[in-house]
Amino acid sequence: MNKLLFLFLLLPSMAMAQITQEPLPTIEETTLGTELEVPVFNFDTERSANSDEGSGAILRGLDRITGAVNNFSISIGETVEFERLEVTLEACRYPVGDINSDAYALLNIRDIRNEEPSFYGWMFASSPALSALDHPRYDIWVLSCESAASE
């Protein structure tokens, strides 16, 4: 009985020993080329013909741990602290003549514990997930632009 049990336990490992793995073929340098091109992003702050410049923006911040949501106003060139984040607004744009429609803002967001920014780029009010802050605790998105005429 013990020999039969031993054979029963040994049989799957013997079957696995029959399987051989062949190494993957090597990739030649000529296949890939010698250099990779890295895309360059241009965050041009020049206003286009179909957008107006706001004097500031209204942002919303979320603390995912506590669930606290805060709206805050920020002017262009100003840096505001939201919890452990420093948020700097570089530009805020909206379609010509309609400040209540889509807004897009150029933001620089940095966690105060890090030297490098956590986010630098354009955020869109109509599509917050398109270009979003990737932070484990906080989330920030654009609600609208503010203009000097509406203040």
Residue 14 is predicted with a pLDDT of 55
Which residues 6+ apart lie within 8 Å of 54 measured at CB?
76, 92, 93, 94, 99, 103, 145, 146, 147
Residue 86 is predicted with a pLDDT of 92
Confidence check: pLDDT of 5 > 70 = no
Confidence check: pLDDT of 133 > 80 = yes
Identify the residue with better confidence: 30 or 82. Answer: 82
> How does pLDDT run across 39-65, given as a tens digit for each residue?
554 545 555 544 566 688 899 999 899
Residue extents of the structural domains in the chain: 51-150
> How does pLDDT run across 87-132, given as a tens digit for each residue?
999 988 887 776 667 888 899 999 889 888 888 988 888 887 787 8
Question: Which of 12-21, 82-91, 102-111 shows the lowest per-residue confidence on average (mean pLDDT)?
Answer: 12-21
> How does pLDDT run across 134-145, given as a tens digit for each residue?
888 888 889 888
Confidence check: pLDDT of 151 > 50 = no
Angle at 114 between CA 110 and CA 115, to 5 degrees: 85
Mean pLDDT computed over 21-36: 60
